[in-house]
Structure 1
Amino acid sequence: MKPRIRSPGFFLQDAHFTRSLVGPQRQHATSCPPSAQLSPASPVSRQWLRLTLVTITAAGVGGYIKWTQDAKAGSTTLNPVRFTSYELVSREPVSTTGSLFTIKPPKSDGSNLAIYEEAWNTGIWSVMFKQPQLQIGRDYTPLPPTSDTEGDVCLRFFIRKDPFGEVSRYLHSLKIGARIEVRGPRIECEIPLETETVIFVAGGTGIAPALQAGHTLLRRTNQVNKPRIHILWANRQRQDCVGGRNESTDAAAEVRPSWLSRIFGSKPDRSYALTKVGDTVESSLIVREIETLKAQYPEQVTVQYFVDEESSFIGKRSIWDCTKSAESSSSGKGNRNLILVSGPEGFIGYMAGPKIWAQGMELQGPLQGIIKELDLQNWAVWKL
């Protein structure tokens, strides 16, 4: 998730987002030698010129009229420039603080499927939700589609209710069937085709882009290439990841101050024992999403769960062990390896250093935190 964006007037003033949509403008200059210059136009050439200008003008006017008609009619096609109206289909609780939202266009003409597919093939992407009363927005990351997602026209989101978050509180207050204005897609991070291994360090709702990364990466599996993803998921409470089990021993879960403890100076509560969840406990919705991904791509997905209240935290050893395991199973073809970090700002800063704002843009900033201290070679790091 990204911080909410407040802009004068309306959303299109977001410089970073506008630049990502438009991109650098290219200017082309042409010249020709004197011998190639045109002679004065004949009556026939002037007639063709007028006909060409009329045709171009008519096409432009027709396109503009269609665009304005679509805007007035409320187009149901997801658009990166203007907001599109979606409908809230369901809201299922994941924990006491988070819910799984499902939205869909009020009518489906199939136009969104190609937009979704291109985004899924590219990498990690998000859409912006609008809070209409305050005229602010926040980016949220869709979860991968499921087999029963109504023809894949629906989008699903894991959203935590932040007591200080205007957008998340607004979304949690909506009734089923309410209209929600969304805009996108916005590509947050491309996953290159040659990527072989992704280590995803996720905090809280940062698991959503981790599932996205797994969905994009693992779809490239074939008889020759079998990419892998290792997910390290940290939560404050067990209820956020109930049913999640570590496949390896708990030795990698370091009993040390968490990133929250480092920031606020408190000590970890060592009174909790590492909880072993029994078979009779129903797994949370997000854990079931993870298990589905693991079942679909056996031996290509590994997950480790860390819970603050159980004094198990992601530390240097956890990340180091994942990198060494990935390198030992690498094909040796020089494919790129990625470490992606997603979660609250404090979590990202502790793991890889904070992102920075400069000239109206959010930039990666220098690599810092515990990942820098590991001094890893041949691993690219990206903060989401």
Structure 2
Amino acid sequence: MRPTIPSYGTRSRNLRVTVRSRYASTSTSKADSPAPAPRRNRWLGIALVTAAAGVAGAYIRSQDPGSATLNQETFTKYSLVSRESVSATSSLFTLRPRIPSGGNYDVYENAWRTGIWSVMFKQPQLQIGRDYTPLPVTSATPLTVDEENEGYLRFFIRKDPFGEVTRYLHNLKIGSDIEMRGPKIEFAIPDETQDVLFIAGGTGIAPALQAGHCLLSRTTENHQPKIHILWASRRREDALGGESDTPEAPVSQKSWFSGWFSSGNNSPSIGPVSNAPNPAKSLIVKELEGLKSQYPGQVTVDYFLDEDNHFISKKHIANFVKTRPPSDGSRKGNLILVSGPAGFISYMAGPKIWAQGQELQGPVQGIIRDLDLKGWAVWKL
């Protein structure tokens, strides 16, 4: 429905407006001269004109679709194309620009080549925003040519019962508009990077897929980078059908949240996520396998499930690191990236800190510090 501009015509009758001809005689007697308008009425007229201008301006702005190209300065409107359930608490969102723009191709391409990036979604009622990480396109879940040309983006988003933005997004109807701003580069992966160990918790798998896409797209005959992903999920359905690439004997360990919220009784792990023959596979597992098939021999993934008491430990990190050649000393050849909930990041590598109005990395702590990994740069996302 088009908003209407209130009419102020009825109020204008209360205003005394004097119109004097440009060529009027200057010899008019004082008795014939109109009395000056009271000051109160003059201020009322100014107020009414200002109010009318404000309403008109708001109406015009409401009709302005803004920039059709994603940018860091203003919010761009996207439409919700689909929301596909991944688990009881998470969904795969597909969005497209409300107004197709060829400029989005260059914006996306530059961000994909740089490293890990996000966009901010706005919750318009509360005027708050939160950053979310787009998923790269893989052979497992490809976009059509038309969808790529129109600038489609996909997001893996968990519904947090206490999150204002996630609840807003999960309650939207298909076809609704979502305002986004970006891209924001979270971490630029150096060109010389050879090996990445990505430790992901929950929806932190989305940045891991981005890191793999960026790193492996640089593959040449003389440059064969590799990425190893350790993905910890609370629910089996998130990682349904995922099979770990690293065989291991059961070890006693604990989850990141057991150390924070419980007594932390250790339980043995019970092996891979699923031992059933040809199990159904979750969308994210398909994404990971699509990345593997696209870059054979350069991607390995190990799955961990809280429901199975199977958690990431120091041993899993150390076992991978010791198999990789040492860095050349630049600390750019080997990277450890950590992404997930704040508690997960703190447990693995220590918390990020706020200083001078911005979020900073803070010192490396947690179980990674205990390993004393030399020649590996650590970054918390």
- What TM-score, normalized by structure 1, do the two folds share? 0.78
Q: Deviation per CA, 1:260-303, whole angstroms, max 9, x where unpaired?
A: 10001233574884453323321000000000000000000000
Q: State the distance in 1 between where 2:91 and 2:265 align.
A: 27
Q: How large is the RMSD of aligned CA atoms in angstroms? A: 2.2
More helix per residue: 1 or 2? 1
The one of the two structures with greater contact order (alpha-carbon pairs below 8 A, sep at least 6) is 1
1:313 to 294, 311, 314: 311
1:111 counterpart = 2:106: no
Q: Are the counterparts in 1 of residues 241 and 280 from structure 2 also a CA contact under 8 Å?
A: yes
Q: State the distance in 2 between where 1:284 and 1:310 align.
A: 17
Q: Which one has a bigger Cα radius of gyration? A: 2
Aligned position for 1:148:
143
1:138 counterpart = 2:136: no
Q: State the distance in 1 between where 2:331 and 2:82 align.
A: 44
Q: State the distance in 1 between where 2:123 and 2:190 align.
A: 34
Q: Deviation per CA, 1:302-343, whole angstroms, max 9, x where unpaired?
A: 000011111111111100111112227x89998611000000
Q: Are the counterparts in 1 of residues 331 and 376 from structure 2 also a CA contact under 8 Å?
A: no
Q: Are the counterparts in 2 of residues 142 and 155 from structure 1 also a CA contact under 8 Å?
A: yes
Q: State the distance in 2 between where 1:268 and 1:175 align.
A: 43
AA at the equivalent of 2:209: L
Aligned position for 2:193:
195
AA at the equivalent of 1:154: Y
1:88 counterpart = 2:85: no
Q: Deviation per CA, 1:83-120, whole angstroms, max 9, x where unpaired?
A: 00000011111111100001010231311000000001
Q: Counterpart of 2:287 in 1: which secondary structure?
A: helix
Give the 3 Å change call, closer, same or farther, for CA 317–166 of structure 1 in structure 2. same
Aligned position for 1:341:
338
* CA deviation after TM superposition for structure 1 residue 248, in Å: 2.1
1:291 counterpart = 2:289: yes
Aligned position for 2:362:
365
Number of residue pairs the alignment of both structures matches: 315
AA at the equivalent of 1:235: S
2:114 to 122, 131, 134: 122
* CA deviation after TM superposition for structure 1 residue 75, in Å: 2.1
Give the 3 Å change call, closer, same or farther, for CA 315–227 of structure 1 in structure 2. same
Aligned position for 2:177:
179
Q: State the distance in 2 between where 1:320 and 1:96 align.
A: 33
Gaps in structure 2 of 5+ consecutive residues: 1-59
Aligned position for 2:4:
none
Q: Deviation per CA, 1:215-272, whole angstroms, max 9, x where unpaired?
A: 0000000111000000000011211101000122133x64312111000123357488
**Greater CA drift, 209-218 or 254-263:** 254-263
* CA deviation after TM superposition for structure 1 residue 122, in Å: 0.5
Give the 3 Å change call, closer, same or farther, for CA 269–89 of structure 1 in structure 2. farther
1:267 counterpart = 2:229: no
Q: Are the counterparts in 1 of residues 207 and 339 from structure 2 also a CA contact under 8 Å?
A: yes
Aligned position for 1:257:
254
% same residue: 60
